[in-house]
Amino acid sequence: MIHDFHYLRPDSLQEAMTMLSEYGDRSKILCGGQSLLIVMRQGMVAPEYVIDIKHLNELNYIRFDEKKGLAIGATTTHRAIEKSDVIKRRYPVIADMENRLASIQTRNWGTIGGNLAHADPAGDPAPVLIVLGAEITLASLKGERTMLLEEFFVDYFTTQLNEDEIIKEINVPVLPPRSGCAYQKFNLLRNDMGIVGVAVKVTLNEAGVCTDAKICLGNAGRVPIRARKAEGAVIGQKYDEKLFAEAGKIASEECEPVSDIHASEEFRRHLVSVLTRRMLVAAWKAI
Amino acid sequence: MEKKLLRFKLNGLEYEIFINPKTLLVDVIRDHIGFTGTKKGCESGSCGACTVMVEDMAVKSCSVLAMQVEGMNVTTVEGLEKNGKLSPIQEAFLDYGAFQCGFCTPGMLMSATALLKENEGKVLTEEEIREGIEGNICRCTGYNSIIRAIEAVSKGEYKEG
Amino acid sequence: MSGEIRELRYSMFKTGVRYTVINHKTRNIDGYAKVTGRAQYTFDIKLPNMLYGKILRSPHPHAKIKNIDYSKALELPGVMAVVTGKDTLGIKQGIWRRYKELCDEQILAVDKVRYIGEPVAAVAAISEEIAEKALDLIEVEYEVLPAVFNPIDAMKKDAPEIHEGVERNINVTRHIEWGDVEEAFAEAEKDGYIREDWFRTSSQHHMCMETRAAVSSYTPDGKLTVWCSTQAPYYMQALLAWVLGLREGDVRVIAQYVGGGFGGKFELDAAMFCSAVLSKKLCRPVKIVFTREEDFIASKRRTPMYYYVRTAMKKDGTFLAREVRVFTNGGAYTGMGATALYLTGFFCSFPYKWRAYRYDGFRVYTNTLPSTAMRGFGAPQAMFCSEQQIEWMCKDLGLDPFEVRRKNAHTECYEVPGQAYIQSCGMTQCIDKIEQWVKSKGDLGPNRAIGISAAGFMSGGIFNWFDTPYSFSSAVVIINHDGTVDLYVGCQEIGQGSNTTMAMICAETLGVRVEDVRVFSGDTGICPPDLGAWGSRQTLMAGNAVKMAAEDAKKQLLEFAYAEMGLNIVYDLDIKDRWVHVIARPERGMKYEDLVKKAIRAKDGQRIVGRGYYTPRRKGMISPAYSYMMQAVDAEVDPETGKITIHEVMTAHDCGQPINPLGLIGQLEGAAAMALGYGYLEDQPMDEGKILNPNLVDYKVIRATDMPKTGMIEIDTYEAEGPYGAKEAGEGLTNPTAAALGNAIFHALGIQLKELPFTPERILKALREKSEKKEAN
Ligand SMILES: Cc1cc2nc3c(=O)[nH]c(=O)nc-3n(C[C@H](O)[C@H](O)[C@H](O)COP(=O)(O)OP(=O)(O)OC[C@H]3O[C@@H](n4cnc5c(N)ncnc54)[C@H](O)[C@@H]3O)c2cc1C
Ligand code: FES
Ligand code: FES
């Protein structure tokens, strides 16, 4: 049962920020509501004020610039991202990830800003965006700040967002040449939340040597985790499946998964190991 | 709680109602207005029984605050037929036996309709159809008859009109 | 016009097509209501003056109720009444009216709760929200008792006593035996092969899309009307009358559209009971709808079983004997679980001939959600164990699994000693067809294989534990002056298409079209009694009653036709597609509508009324007829992650004469989806009796993108006992799938999985064990 609340509908980002600064932790931003309404229904969250930003078209955009890269406004829906031509062309890994995020209905209404703010460790966009080096911009009446997305997540369902802040935009830099990305979540039903998910980005030099690698593990800890040791194992190396298997093992030791009804900790580690190896192969092949 | 005025179009008709702003779209449709075709099957946005179209887009009406459809067009299963004439997808569901208990059917039809609308003039692949109704659980049919029905409409075997 | 019809009919008779309705793809007659949103489910009902009820449930698996204080709840504005077990007659009810010791459930607990989720109080209020708030204001004082959660522990001497005086918590035992089991095993010991295995099956939930729901309206004249989501309106009528102290005739149960049943909705549930108790107290309609969570934690489930199977065969694959022992996790109450216990034992012999067979089943009470009937009614568990073990034995002996199954399969006119008479049986043909199909697929590559499983099922149970005074099924056919037909049946439409099937049987028999027949069902106020939709009984039993009623009406029409047409009495008359005619000369006849008008006039203005009823006689102990099938599942497993991909399910199926091919395909595909879920997805893990996944995020149900291709090969048989030769189709199709999937995994990876569901972790564990064994050797 959802508790009663005051419903506020700002007409601009400015107005939304004003409301946030006024009501602070007595309020909650509502965007697509695909996550928030569920927790409100369970009574886990009961704000006095709900600030509905779903209709803020000001934040609903996908822009691409050859220098600055990709900018996605916070209220852009998953579906819009999945269907975006420029994203399909320039960042197919994002479009593919979105295609397996929940169902069409949820993607039609749920937004990227809401997904990241919700900070479910099983969320799909975060690992992918993190390996792409994405930044997130938060705004409040006090001003804006931008940080790497991987620094945004603090704990289960907790982020750097202050109570007066709103996510404004996500930026994804242009991929360096000879880069490849891949993401896969392991689940039993095609569109289910991932039991674990692994995203990989690699960049090679002309000799085929890996100059940069980013590996991010979803649902393998409290927040999306960078597998830095595993990354270290492949940087400076050439395509080598044995090495990738080794990197997978390293990644499985770097993460902190839990046991739940869907998988034991041990199985999650095993999956991290297998998927890391497979995604390294896939990322390499995507170049 | 202060009530809020909500204005929107449901199945082509304008509605103006005062609601507690926490009211979900599904409850406005079913309880306040009284179109009970739309169903509910869960409390977790998982089953799709409550699927309606908002501006030709399938959404789960149990996961949308009614206030969010202010000024928009909402279509439910009751809006598919025109003057007693069934829409192509409804006819196809009958011919292909694409329902059993029928409880998922209204939501399924809305997902199917949105999918067909989005892809008008294009013949959908089986894969695309499956993805299009992935958010709708049917416990009875095993889906394949539903896939066949949508496929038939997509291929133009049923004509509007 | 009539000339045209004559032409058409004539050619039809010449080409030898026997039926004008049966076996023709027919649109579901409830379809218009269902595809337009008009179908009104209990969930949709809103009556004037209606209140909303909510149920307070036990948080403890086992506890004494010391005191319930609901004074604060009553003070909440909008709350109209609160009831507890003390406000009821406290009758221990159950479907077992003949066996009172098995009636053990009070629905609203009186002094003790035995599982988490058991109802302890119910509130009626002017809105659902207020009712829910009121639940928080009810204070229940419990004395928590030690609890036990699995049958093995519950049978121990020092286990907590769940029901007073029930020793070792053994709720029911069942024994089936024929032949000399010892002798047969001794023979195998000498010169044959014996194998024994332990298996464990899971807790699958019906997960009907419509959760349990009821609207009860008791009026000051002492009459109660209950709209509910049930498979068996007559049972509900009788049970409600019993527990409320009313006469059966004063209770009317209406179940017009039901959002799924699958065996989960033919017992009295708390939605019906609590709404009725509240309504009786307030004389206002009360509606209760379970949330999905309530449905998961407190409406019953498929019976989890611990299974021991020991099988003896000759070296050439001839089956000798089988010994089966089963311990089922009965949960807190008997429900329909006692029948599942019997049927699992019987179907573990299926579909084969055994010289000797012995089954001992124990249903054990535990402090968990009660288990009950679910699609397949004990048989999927049996097949899971039996068909995998047979496959393994074939492999052990290097025998062809098709050949072995064929050699031992039931055949027509076989008697399962002391248990059942098999009349029609297409088992061998099913095996042949699937063998051809499998062979045509060739090699499928690594980690992928086809697994097979045979199965069979009953067409309606010959059980009358309910002690009904009425025939099992009945029907009334009324022909109106314009030729339209009103068909009144007690059988219940729950999505399986029974209304359409009955309309088709009626139309075929009378010689009219399906659109001429209007079916009235699901209302005990106007329909003749029927035991309802469970145990696959509708097509055969209700179908026979409908056929008999239609024949009765038709006979009256034809008697009049002889007089009207002035025919030589040796001529045979028939009606087909609204044309009354001489069979030998179909062009000679008259319009059905004209005949009806005249016949009603001749009958002093009475409509033509036909009555039919059916109760199986001399058909053994279980069922009047049996369906047979063989299924093949093509599956692939990722040996690194244990993830299963299912490519295709092919089934050869003997269901006698299909009535509506459209409905049949739907049953097959629906069963496959549910049974595949049983095989690799669905389970209700528990911690100390608490179900850990009571929602559709965590309880996994197959979706469109996970559903494989399905195909069916029909095996034609004719069942003399069934209407137009029909048998069951739909429930039995759930039986072979988990085993066939298990066998596919066995052939793909060489592992034997003895526990359901086949989760990735179980698969990986089995693979590890296999490689460890290899290393050890
Ligand atoms: C059935 C189902 C399946 C799902 N499966 C997946 C899946 O497979 N993978 C996956 O990643 N996700 C999945 N999700 C989650 C879901 O899709 C996203 O979390 C959702 O899209 C969130 O977006 P929203 O706009 O609906 O956010 P809301 O629900 O409106 O908000 C979520 C949270 O974000 C906050 N918030 C929203 N917008 C902003 C903003 N601009 N600035 C600051 N805070 C904000 C809210 O206050 C709230 O705390 C699933 C959800 C459902 C219901
Ligand atoms: S009711 Fe289940 S998704 Fe809306
Ligand atoms: S028809 Fe029953 S759930 Fe789909």
Which strand (E) or helix (H) includes residue C59? none
pLDDT at C10: 37
pLDDT at C461: 86
Q: Which residues have a Cβ under 8 Å from the Cβ of C505 and sit 6 or more positions away? A: C22, C543, C546, C547, C550, C659, C723, C724
Cα–Cα distance measured from residue C232 to residue C112, given in angstroms and rounded to the nearest whole number: 28
pLDDT at C8: 38
Measured from the CB, is residue B110 less than 6 Å from ligand 2? Answer: no
Does the CB of C296 have a partner CB in chain A at under 8 Å? Answer: no
Complete edge-to-edge strand list for the sheet that includes strand C139-144: C112-113, C63-69, C139-144
Cα–Cα distance measured from residue A59 to residue C171, given in angstroms and rounded to the nearest whole number: 63
Provide mean pLDDT across the span C724-736.
Answer: 92
Q: Same structural domain for residues A88 and A168?
A: yes
In this structure, the residue with its CA closest to atom 3 of ligand 3 is B138
In this structure, how many other beta carbons lie within 10 angstroms of the beta carbon of residue B34?
9
Residue A266 has pLDDT above 50, yes or no: yes
Level-2 CATH architecture, domain C2-24+472-614: 2-Layer Sandwich (3.30)
pLDDT at C18: 77
pLDDT at C16: 46
User: Residue C3 — pLDDT band, cuts 50, 70, 90?
Assistant: very low
pLDDT at C460: 87
What superfamily would CATH give domain C45-146+206-298? Aldehyde oxidase/xanthine dehydrogenase, a/b hammerhead (3.90.1170.50)
- Ligand 2 centroid from CA A10, angstroms: 28
Q: Does A1 fall in a domain? A: no
Query: Based on C-alpha coordinates, what's the Rg of chain A?
Result: 19
Q: Where would I find the H helices in C287-376?
A: 292-298, 337-347
Cα–Cα distance measured from residue C416 to residue C418, given in angstroms and rounded to the nearest whole number: 6
Tokens of A6: 């005051």
Q: Which residue, C736, C756, C753, is CA-closest to C683?
A: C756
Provide mean pLDDT across the span C384-395.
Answer: 98
**Residue C363 forms beta bridges with which residues?**
C172, C328
Provide mean pLDDT across the span C614-634.
Answer: 91
Q: What is each CA distance from C466 to B129, C252, C267, C456, C532, in whole angstroms?
A: 46, 18, 11, 25, 12
Query: Nearest 5°: phi and psi at C132?
Result: -65, -40
* Contact (CB<8Å) C641/A189: no
CATH of the domain at A17: 3.30.43.10
Tally the domains of chain A. Answer: 3
Q: Which residue, C630, C668, C656, is CA-closest to C431?
A: C630
List the domain boundaries for chain B.
4-79, 88-154
Q: Which residues have a Cβ under 8 Å from the Cβ of C93 and sit 6 or more positions away? A: C103, C105, C106, C107, C239, C242, C243, C268
Tokens of C672: 């496959």
Q: Residue A81 CA to chain centroid, in angstroms? A: 13
Provide mean pLDDT across the span C763-768.
Answer: 98
Orientation angle between helical segments C379-397 and C737-749, nearest 10 degrees = 30
Which strand (E) or helix (H) includes residue C724? none
Q: Same structural domain for residues A249 and A266?
A: yes
Q: Which amino acid is at A182?
A: A
- Ligand 2 centroid from CA A74, angstroms: 25
Measured from the CB, is residue C495 less than 6 Å from ligand 3? Answer: yes
Q: Same structural domain for residues A109 and A151?
A: yes
Q: Does A205 fall in a domain? A: yes
Instruction: Quick: pLDDT tens for A92-140.
Output: 999 999 999 999 999 999 999 999 999 999 999 999 999 999 999 999 9
User: Residue C730 — pLDDT band, cuts 50, 70, 90?
Assistant: confident
* Contact (CB<8Å) C707/B142: yes
Residue B9 has pLDDT above 90, yes or no: yes
* Contact (CB<8Å) C761/A267: yes
Measured from the CB, is residue B99 less than 6 Å from ligand 3? Answer: yes
Residue C349 has pLDDT above 70, yes or no: yes
Provide mean pLDDT across the span C304-323.
Answer: 98
Q: Which residue, C61, C95, B138, B131, is CA-closest to A98?
A: B131
Q: Which residues have a Cβ under 8 Å from the Cβ of B123 and sit 6 or more positions away? A: B154, B155, B156
Judging by DSSP bridges, how do beta strands C170-178 and C356-365 pair with one another?
A: antiparallel
Q: Same structural domain for residues A139 and A163?
A: yes
Cα–Cα distance measured from residue A87 to residue A95, given in angstroms and rounded to the nearest whole number: 6
Q: Same structural domain for residues A121 and A211?
A: no
A175-179 own/partner pairs: CB under 8 Å, 24+ apart:
A175/A90, A175/A91, A175/A132, A175/A201, A175/A203, A176/A203, A176/A212, A178/A203, A178/A204, A178/A205, A178/A206, A178/A287, A179/A203, A179/A204, A179/A212, A179/A287
Query: How large a percentage of chain C has pLDDT more than 90?
Result: 91
User: Residue C7 — pLDDT band, cuts 50, 70, 90?
Assistant: very low
Q: Residue B27 CA to chain centroid, in angstroms? A: 15
Q: Do C2-24+472-614 and C45-146+206-298 agree at the fold level?
A: no
Provide mean pLDDT across the span C398-411.
Answer: 98
Nearest atom of ligand 1 to the alpha carbon of A109? 26
Residues B19, B66 contacting (CB under 8 angstroms): yes
Ligand 2 pocket: which of B24, B29, B39, B47 to mutate (most atoms within 8 A of CB): B47
Instruction: Quick: pLDDT tens for C10-39.
Output: 334 444 447 999 999 999 999 999 999 999
Cα–Cα distance measured from residue B64 to residue B36, given in angstroms and rounded to the nearest whole number: 17
What CATH number was assigned to the domain covering residues C301-463+626-776? 3.30.365.10
Q: What is each CA distance from B106 to B38, B113, C650, in whole angstroms?
A: 6, 10, 29
Query: Chain B, 85-124: which have a CB under 8 Å from a chain C CB?
Result: 86, 90, 93-97, 99-106, 109
- Ligand 3 centroid from CA B58, angstroms: 18
Q: DSSP string spanning C361-404?
A: EEEEE-SS--EE--TTTTHHHHHHHHHHHHHHHHHHHT--HHHH
- Ligand 1 centroid from CA A31, angstroms: 8
In this structure, the residue with its CA closest to atom 3 of ligand 2 is B45
User: Residue C6 — pLDDT band, cuts 50, 70, 90?
Assistant: very low
HSE-up of residue B9 (Cα within 13 Å, Cβ side):
12
Cα–Cα distance measured from residue C187 to residue C190, given in angstroms and rounded to the nearest whole number: 5
Q: If you search the block for the tokens 């739909």, which residue do you land on?
A: C730
Q: Same structural domain for residues A31 and A81?
A: no
Ligand 3 pocket: which of B111, B140, B145, B146 to mutate (most atoms within 8 A of CB): B140
In this structure, the residue with its CA closest to atom 2 of ligand 3 is B101
Weakest mean pLDDT among B69-78, C639-648, C725-734: C725-734
* Contact (CB<8Å) B67/A3: no
Ligand 2 pocket: which of B46, B108, B137 to mutate (most atoms within 8 A of CB): B46
Tokens of C169: 């918590």
Instruction: Quick: pLDDT tens for C99-138.
Output: 999 999 999 999 999 999 999 999 999 999 999 999 999 9
Which chain C residues touch A277 with a CB distance below 8 Å?
none
- Ligand 2 centroid from CA B133, angstroms: 13
* Contact (CB<8Å) A33/B65: yes
* Contact (CB<8Å) A106/B67: no
Instruction: Quick: pLDDT tens for B48-59.
Output: 999 999 999 999
Residues C473, C542 contacting (CB under 8 angstroms): yes
Nearest atom of ligand 2 to the alpha carbon of B39? 1
Does the CB of C703 have a partner CB in chain A at under 8 Å? Answer: yes
* Contact (CB<8Å) C293/B49: no
Which strand (E) or helix (H) includes residue A148? strand A143-148
* Residue ranges with strand state E in A58-142: 62-65, 69-73, 135-140
Tokens of A64: 């691409």
User: Residue B161 — pLDDT band, cuts 50, 70, 90?
Assistant: low
Q: Which residue, C233, C714, C775, is CA-closest to C489?
A: C233
User: Residue C532 — pLDDT band, cuts 50, 70, 90?
Assistant: confident
Angle at A149 between CA A148 and CA A155, to 5 degrees: 120
**Residue C205 forms beta bridges with which residues?**
C301
Q: Residue C728 CA to chain centroid, in angstroms? A: 11
CATH of the domain at A201: 3.30.390.50
Cα–Cα distance measured from residue C301 to residue C293, given in angstroms and rounded to the nearest whole number: 14
Intra-chain end-to-end CA distance of chain C, in Å:
82
Distance from CA of B17 to the nearest CA of C (A): 19
**A-B contacts (CB, under 8 Å):** 83
Q: Do B4-79 and B88-154 agree at the fold level?
A: no
Instruction: Quick: pLDDT tens for C149-168.
Output: 999 999 999 999 999 999 99
Tokens of C636: 């692939």
Weakest mean pLDDT among A199-203, B55-59, C457-461, C479-483: C457-461
Measured from the CB, is residue B49 less than 6 Å from ligand 2? Answer: yes
pLDDT at A70: 98
* Contact (CB<8Å) A37/B111: no
Query: Nearest 5°: phi and psi at C275?
Result: -65, -35
Q: Same structural domain for residues A134 and A184?
A: no
**Pocket lining for ligand 1, CB < 6 angstroms:** A 28-36, 53, 74, 78, 101-102, 106, 110-111, 113-115, 117-118, 123-125, 161, 166-167, 193; B 45-46
What superfamily would CATH give domain B4-79? Beta-grasp domain (3.10.20.30)
If you measure CA to CA, which chain B residue comes closest to A32? Answer: B64
Question: Among A4, A102, A105, whose Cβ lies nearest the Cβ of B58?
Answer: A105
Q: Which domain range does residue A192 map to?
A: 179-285
- Ligand 3 centroid from CA C462, angstroms: 29
Question: What is the overall mean pLDDT for chain B?
Answer: 97
Residue C229 has pLDDT above 60, yes or no: yes
Residue A26 has pLDDT above 80, yes or no: yes
Provide mean pLDDT across the span A153-177.
Answer: 97
Q: Which residues have a Cβ under 8 Å from the Cβ of C692 and sit 6 or more positions away? A: A261, C684, C685, C686, C698
Provide mean pLDDT across the span C37-47.
Answer: 97
* Contact (CB<8Å) A37/B132: no
pLDDT at B133: 98
Q: Which residue, C214, C256, C205, is CA-closest to C239?
A: C214
A261-284 as b/e: b if 16+ CB within 10 A: ebbeeebbbbbbbbbbbbbbbbbb
Cis peptide leading into residue C757 (ω within 30°) = yes
Query: Based on C-alpha coordinates, what's the Rg of chain B?
Result: 16
**Residue C542 has what DSSP assignment?**
I
Judging by DSSP bridges, how do beta strands A210-218 and A225-226 pair with one another?
A: antiparallel
Which chain B residues touch A105 with a CB distance below 8 Å?
48, 51, 58-60, 63, 111, 135
Q: Which residues have a Cβ under 8 Å from the Cβ of A76 and sit 6 or more positions away? A: A59, A60, A61, A62, A111, A112, A113
CATH top-level class of B88-154: mainly alpha
List the domain boundaries for chain C.
2-24+472-614, 45-146+206-298, 301-463+626-776
With helix as H, strand as E and coil as C, how does C431-498 read? HHHHHHHHHHHCCCCCCEEEEEEEEEEECCCCCCCCCCCCCCEEEEEEECCCCCEEEEECCCCCCCCH
Which chain C residues touch B129 with a CB distance below 8 Å?
704
Question: Among A38, A104, A108, whose Cβ lies nearest the Cβ of B134?
Answer: A104
Query: Chain A, 247-276: which have a CB under 8 Å from a chain C CB?
Result: 261-264, 267, 270-271, 274
